[in-house]
Each structure stands twice: as C-alpha cells, then as structure tokens.
Structure 1
Amino acid sequence: MKKNQLFSVLMASALLVSVGEASVYAAAGPGSGKTPTVKTSAKAAVKVKEGVKAWTVNGAQTTFKTVDAGGYKLYSISQLAASLGASIANESGSLVLKDRAGLHTIKLKAGSKSYSLDGEKRNFTTAPTVSGGKLYVELSAIVYGLGGELFGSPLQILGAARPQGEFDTLHWAADGTVLANLEGETAQVYKFAANPGSYGLFSSDERASDFSVSADRRYGAFTDETGLLYVIDLTSGAVKPLGTDTATKTDLTWSADGTSIYYIQGDKQEKISQISVDTGTVKELLADKVENKSELRISADGKRAVYIVNITGSAKNDADSTEDSLTIDYSKAGEQLYQLDLATKDAKPAALTTSDDNKLYPEILADGTVVYLSADPEGKTANALKTVKPDGTAANIALDIEVTWAQAAGGGIIASGTAADGTSRIYSVPVSGSAQELFRTKADISEVSVSADGGKLAVITGGKLVEIENGKAVQLTR
C-alpha cells in the first residue's frame, strides 16, 4: 500500500465513528425513561471540552449538556429530542429522529457530516461527536429539521416554528387565544395561544372566514352566500345554522347577554332586525325604507341602536320630467349617525349628526355617549375621534395621532393611528381622564383587536401578528 493511501485510512479511522465501532441505543420516543447511549472504542473517541448551556424551550428553562468540538458547540441529542418531543430509534446503523407530529425525519451517523432531512441530503457544519458514551449534535440543524425554530432576543427554542405568511381578520376567543386568517387561495383560520409556537388550524370553512363575535367571546356569527345565518363555537370550531331566514344580512351585532343577534337586513340595507339565538325567530325592528344603513351598534342594556346612513344625492327635475331638467342635489349627501330607541314601540330614528365628515367605527359607551372616527372627505384635515352625548352635545377627543381605527373596550375606547414622527401608536381612552399609550412601533399597524377584558391586544404590524400585554409585545408569526 502506498504511503498516501495508508495515511488516508489512518485519518478516516481517527475521525469517524463507524457503525461497527459505535452503537446508539435509544428509546423509541421521549418520556420512556431511557437515555440514548453510545458505545465507542478508545481509538474512535474524540477529545472535547464538556459543558452545559441553559435555554428556554417552549417557555420552560432547560439545561443541556454540551461539548465544544472544532470550535462549535454541540448539544446532547437525547436531551434535544426529549425537549422537542421527538422520538429516537436505530435503523440499519443510522440514528433516526422524528418530530411529534411525524412530519419530519432526520437520519444521521456519529462522526459523519452527511445526514438526510425528509429524504434530502444535507451536511452538518461539524459532524455529530461522541463524548462519554453520549452523542452530541448541532443545535440549529436538529431544531429546524424537526420543524422547530430559534426565536426571540434572547434566543429561545420553539418545538414548533411560528407560521409564516400574511394574516388578517383578528378575533379573540374566550379561552384567551387569538383567531386570525392566513391570506391565501383557500380559507385557513388559525388559533394562536400566547406562547410563540403554540398554534393550530382552527377552521378551513370558507363561510367562516369572518364573523361577528359575542361579548363573552364564546361564539361567532356569519352568513353564507344565501343569507342563512350560522353560529360557530370558538372553542371547538363546530358550526350550526341559526333559523331558516335567507334575507340578506349585514353588520351582525350580538346583544351583550348573547341571546340575540341584530343585523341590517335587505339588499339595499333598508331594515334593522334581530334573531333569537335560542329559537331562530326573526323580529323586524325598523323598516323606514331609508337605504344604505351600516355599522350597527347596540347598547349594553339593549335599549338603543346606533348606526350610520350613507345619504346619497337627491334627483330633481321639472314637471315634465325632461332629461335636460334633471339635476342631482348633493347638499345633504354624506354619512350621518342615527339612533333608534329599541325600548319604545314604533319609535322613529333620530339623527345624531348633521356634519359633512365621513364617519367610521361608531361605539356606544356605558354613559350613552357615542364615539366615532371623523374623517375629512377632502383629506384636508387629519382624522380624529369625536363624541356625541345623548343630548346631541359634540366634542373632540385630543390625541397626538391621526386616528385610523377605534373600538370600545373596558368602558372606554382603544384607538390606533400615526403620530407626527411617523410611528404607529395605540392608546386607551377612558370615559374621563387622560389617554394612556399602550404600544408604539415604527412599522405600520393595519389591524387591532381587543380582548374581552381590554387587557390584551392582538395587532397586525409590519404584516406580522403580535400579541401585546402590559406593554410587552410577543410576535406570534414570522
């Protein structure tokens, strides 16, 4: 044998741990009480520096055994598998790891940089190393290979990587989870817990891509293309029809006690009706033939409805109704707020506003005050929050942002918008007292949802879903 051939053989023997020299005896899965061990000859052992490293794994503190090999920190494979919920087994001389859901498989050998992930060939930066009868591997390759993620600052390990994509249509459920739609060709509603990586597919029902949520956050209501109303359980995802009425329904709004759902009815949004959640019985509340109603709100005591009417121009012509004489009067056109006394039989709607500003997001506060977002139709002045007292007294709410969204919460209002420095901010605005800043970011805020108690926010900012509590923001998607 030539000298260079002999040298190659000796080097291979020193650096690699062959299947014949090292056997890994591993449990079939985590929690079995067995720890994978490696038997290796003295000739194959590699001198390494042993140590420990603490990580937060799925919210729990875990200390891993480590070795420094070739300037790279490797981690105990048995500890990694157990913390990630993965199984370990020996198959034909290779060590095989599978994630809990059975979606990913890693096959590797001690001493070899080459490994496979879901059947595709990959390479470690540093080969898996044996020390003290234990096998040590690269952290990132194993975590990501098994569907996990290294996340946050400081870094922590997630057993399941956060979902990636654009999300919208946020809702809170009674169990403290957030429901959000993943944008795409098919309907996918995901449910997110507060811990990153804790999520799952909630619904793929196209009809339930958006819904109105009950005050207790237990149920959602939506209609299908025929106008039939459905209720979805926000815990189980179960869907059931409510009644048999197929009239067009928009602006679904739950009563505070969850016994009724109010809505605007008709192809021209000309009526207001309510349906019993228990019986499916429909009751017509208003049919004044005024079209283009929207943004229906019901007071907590159920005695008052507030809504917006989009008033269009009125046509005028002469007695002969000639085409040349036809004119459109836009002097009274615009959006106006109306209120309806639901406690008085045959009550007539009363106008709350006469101003020419556009009106969005009306809310009824506990004292009867109506708050809404006012927008200049010509864009000459910044958007602002305005209030209208039951007696018609109007006022502005002073905030250092141009308001883009508002919602009732905790007896007051949560509002978001853009400040003069370009930052996006969210404020809590009480019925009385000063506004309190809840969150600030340099990214755009496109959507906000408030938990039932008003203590948490779900926000779409920079295209990502973020949960905010006590000023602390946790990003739930990538």
Structure 2
Amino acid sequence: MSMKKVFVVSMAAAVITTSVAGAVSAAPAAKPAAGTSTAQVKNATLTINGNNIIVRSIVKNGETLVAVRDIINAIGAQAEVVGGATVIQLNGHKVSLQNKSKQLDVDGTKVDLNQPISIIGGTSYAALRPLVSSVGGTVSLKNGQLEISTIALIEGAENPRIAGAGHLIVSKNDEQGRNDYLVDTATGKYELLLTTEGGSDLVVSPSGTQAVYTNAEGAVYVIDLTTKASKLITSDTSIKPELVWSADESSIYFLQGDKGSVIANLNLADGSIKKLVEDKVDYKENLNVSASGKRFIYTVTTLGKVTADATNVDEDNIDIDFSANQQQLFSYNNGDGKPEAVKLTTSTDDKVFIYSADGQKAYYVSVPSGEGNASLMSVDASQKPVNVYNEHDVEQAILSGSILYVLASQDEKNSVILAIDTVTGQQSKLYTVSSDVSSIVVKGAQIAVVENGRVLVQAEGGWKSITK
C-alpha cells in the first residue's frame, strides 16, 4: 500500500537573521535579473503539512525549484547565516546550503544536487525534493498536487481510540507509567494529553469531547480533550475494571469490585454512586449499556471445578476439570418490576468482541476450539445464535451506531474490512488491506487500522500513516 504522510503546518516565523533575509528574501515574485536565469517565477500551491501554501517556484531543466525562504517559513524551521551559508534546523537535522552550490551539507554529509542553488531576484531557489528530504520530510504527488510532510510522527504508540472528528488518542508505556497522546489524524501532529501510573485506559465519550479514567487507587477523573484539564469526580477507591459512558454523557456505568460482581452508576454532576445490579454473580465482563440505561448485556465466566482431593492441597494431586470453563452472555433489564438476568448463550465456544446497542440483542465473534473460521454471531433471549458472517475468518468486529465493522482474513496476503447493517442485514466490502493489519478502530465515518505497529487512517481513498 502507498503510505502518504501529511501534517499540519507551523506558521510561526522562522528565526532568520537580517543577513538571511537578504540571502533568501521573501519578496514578491520577480523576473530574473539579467544574466542569472531565464526561468519564470510562478506562485505554486503546495500542500505543506496539511495546509495549502503558496510558494514561489521555478521549473528548471525539468526540476521544480522553490524559494528557500518560503519553505523555511512554511515548515516552521529555524535558520541563520553562518559563514555565508544558510543553516536550517528541523526534526534534529542540520542542513547547510550555499548559493550556486550543487551540494547540501546534511548532518555533516554532502548530498549532491542535480543543479546548483539558483538566485533569482535576490531570492535563493533550491530543488524541492532534496531540500525537504534533508530535514526528514517527504514529497508525494496526489491528485496532481505536491504534498509535503516534515513533522516527525510519534513512534511505538498503541491502543488507538477515535476522539472526535479528526483526532485519535494513542498510548505509550514505559517504566514510569503510561503517556497518552492526542494525535491529529489529518497531520500526525501530536501532543501529550495525560501521564498516569497504574491508571485505567482513557475511555472516550460518545461526542469525543472528553474521556474518563481511573487512577491507580480507583478514583475517577474526566479529562476535557480541548483544554486537557482533568476533573476529579469521585475519590471512591473501589475497583472499577470497566467504564462505560451513558448516552447523554451525564454518568458513567462500571463494574465494581475485584470480581466485577456489581454493576454501578456514577453521577458526574455530584459524584454519587448507585448500585444497579447486585446479584452476587461474580466475573462479569464486557459490559454493554443500552441508550436508556435500563438494559445491560455482559458476559459471565465460570471457572474450572476441583473434582478430587479438594482438601489435600499439600500433596499436589488436585484434579481440576477445566472443561467447566465457560463464558456465557446474559442480559439484564433493570426496568422490569422484578429484574433478573436472562441467559442468552449456552455454547462452549470462546466469545470475543461483545457488542449490543439496545441491551436485548448481542453480537459477538465465536471462536471455534478446532478447525474452521471464527464467525460473527448474534443472539437474543431466544438462545438461538444466528450466523451473521463467516465467509472469511473473522479477526475483529466493532459496532458503531447500527453498523457492524468486520476485519476478516481473506487469504495469506490480504484481509478485508466489511460493513454490515444490523437493521437491513446488507453487507458491503469497504477495503482490502494487508494481512499485516491486526486491528481496526471505527467511529461514525472515521476508520483507522493498526498495521505492523503503525496507526493508519483512511484518507481520500488511501491509507495514511499517522504514527511510526
């Protein structure tokens, strides 16, 4: 696949001394001085770090040369004149160029140019591609227009989550804890959002404007994704293994306790906690909450049974029947007069990627213990699983609105991303991607994939890397 990196432009003025201004002047387009060049200077529109920028350019001997000063300003580089040469610094690179020279000095290494740096109307012009690549950038052609990227991408980021239009949250872990970053999907530009040690993942709200998390002690915070300010909601230290936003973003549902036996609700206005389901059933997971907040779908895991010598633990001859390990789906209607859990499944297959929009019907990926494809299934109170998709081996499923997005392995080299309408049942193939794609992230019309540790977003029919 062709990866194109496009980033937001930094419009801050470059640090240019008076002598640099004379060497690489930003004067209006001018005709060449007599005896310098017959090339005609034109204003060209380039996509530079995500924005359309007008720069002065010439085409000379079939190669595009651009005004050095214009490019310096557009990419937000630092520059100064040292010993008659213009020295540019960006992304840890140091580039030295001199008028009429056919070489660039890039981090101490000489890079040959096809033609010398030209002077037209008192302005220096250099070949676009080597100038951009010297500071770690890329140049590509898209829809007949040159696209330039010079901002460094975040490296080694994990767990992408869509956070409103045009943004993702990604995380990096180290010995000190976890750093969460907000990434602009149009540009790859990123900023530190939160640093935690032992806290939960950030869970983004339905609107994408805020996210909730717990610290290592279990206290709950909400962070505003615009101001980056965190607000303490409750200091309650009970374990909260799963956090789920209410549809109106006024509260948070969560499983409570180290065994997840309770379903509770946290009011964001006053920090009060109310237990909604307290049926003493342990090991609840995969909590889904309906828009009304009255219905829940979740899984319950039963563990293996000790079948012999249960009391003689010192003799190391305890027999445990692991075939009893099962995970089943349940629904719970808290709006009933006498609410109770309803078992939806009875099969012994592994069940992953559990989703429900209404708290009545659930969708999940069934993973067989033996040969055969993993299948996307649906089930309701009838306890009759329905096969939704199994043409290819299902690797992941995500429910966004009324659409199920499916990542499935097509063959050894390719995977497919499908959209399945849960109302009409209509299926459509959206993309064919590399088999190296390990997961997808979807919210509304936004989609991202993880491929070989990089996060890529869909942009105008192609995949663009926003991390490396």
Correspondences of 1:232-381 after superposition (within 5 Å): 232-316=223-307, 327-330=319-322, 332-344=324-336, 347-366=339-358, 368-376=360-368, 378-381=369-372
What secondary structure does 2:124 align onto?
Answer: strand
Q: Is this contact kept in 2: 1:25–1:37, CA < 8 A?
A: no
Which residue is 1:202 aligned to?
Answer: 193
Which residue does 1:457 correspond to in 2?
A: 447
C-alpha distance in structure 1 between counterparts of 2:73 and 2:434, whole Å: 39
Equivalent residue, structure 2, for 1:445: 437
> What is the identity, as a one-letter code, of the residue corresponding to 2:301?
N
Question: Alignment partner for residue 168 of structure 1, among 158, 167, 174?
Answer: 158
Q: Which protein, 1 or 2, shows the higher relative CO under an 8 Å CA cutoff with sep ≥ 6?
A: 2
Aligned 1:57-72 pairs, distance under 5 A: 57=48, 58-60=50-52, 62=54, 64-68=56-60
Q: Do the aligned partners of 1:251 and 1:264 also contact (CA within 8 Å) in 2?
A: yes
Among 21, 26, 31, which residue is 2:21 paired with? 26
| Alignment match, 2:467 | 477
Deviation at 1:362, TM superposition (A): 1.4
The 3-state SS of whatever aligns with 1:393 is: coil
2:107 is the alignment partner of 1:112? no
Q: Deviation at 1:117?
A: 5.5
Aligned to 1:142: 131
Q: Deviation at 1:437?
A: 1.5
CA separation of 1:172/1:29 partners in 2, compared to 1, >3 Å: closer, same or farther?
Answer: farther
Within the alignment, does 1:84 sit opposite 2:75 as a pair? yes
The match for 1:15 is: none
**1: distance between equivalents of 2:462 and 2:334?**
41
Q: What count of residue pairs does the alignment treat as equivalent? A: 443
Structure 2 length-normalised TM: 0.81
- The amino acid across from 1:369 in the alignment is K
TM-score, L = length of structure 1: 0.79
- CA contact under 8 A between 2:301 and 2:326: conserved in structure 1? yes
CA distance in 1, matches of 2:286, 2:22: 59
Could you tell me whether the CA contact under 8 Å between 1:176 and 1:193 is conserved in 2? yes
**Alignment match, 2:47:** 56
* Whole-Å separation in 2 of the counterparts to 1:437 and 1:335: 31
User: Does 2:389 match 1:394?
Assistant: no
| Counterpart secondary structure, 1:249 | coil
Contact 1:24 1:38 in 2 (8 A): no
CA contact (8 A) 1:76 1:136 kept: yes
Identity %: 25
Tell me the amino acid that sits aligned with residue 122 of structure 2: G
1:311 Cα deviation from its structure 2 partner: 0.8
Q: Greater CA radius of gyration, 1 or 2?
A: 1
RMSD: 3.7
Unmatched 5+ stretches in structure 2: 1-17
Taking the aligned partners of 1:208 and 1:282, their CA distance within structure 2 comes to 20
Which residue number in structure 1 is paired with residue 11 of structure 2? none
Distance 2:308 2:111 in 1: 81
1:130 aligned onto 2:119: yes
Per-residue deviation, 1:257: 1.4
Q: Is the 8 A contact 1:24 1:37 kept in 2?
A: no
Residue 252 of structure 1 aligns with an amino acid whose one-letter code is: L
Q: Which ranges of structure 1 fall in alignment gaps of 5 or more residues?
A: 1-22
Partners of 1:195 and 1:327 lie apart in 2 by 57
Residues 69-94 of structure 1 deviation map (CA, whole Å, 9 limit, x = unaligned): 6x865322233234334566556533
Which one-letter code corresponds to 1:269 in the other structure?
A: G
Equivalent position SS for 1:26: helix
Displacement of 1:210:
2.3
Distance 2:392 2:126 in 1: 51
Residue 190 (structure 1) shift: 3.1
Superposed CA deviations along residues 439-468 of structure 1, whole A, max 9, x for unmatched, are 2112422222212xx211121123322222
The letter of the residue matching 2:402 is G
Distance 2:148 2:255 in 1: 45
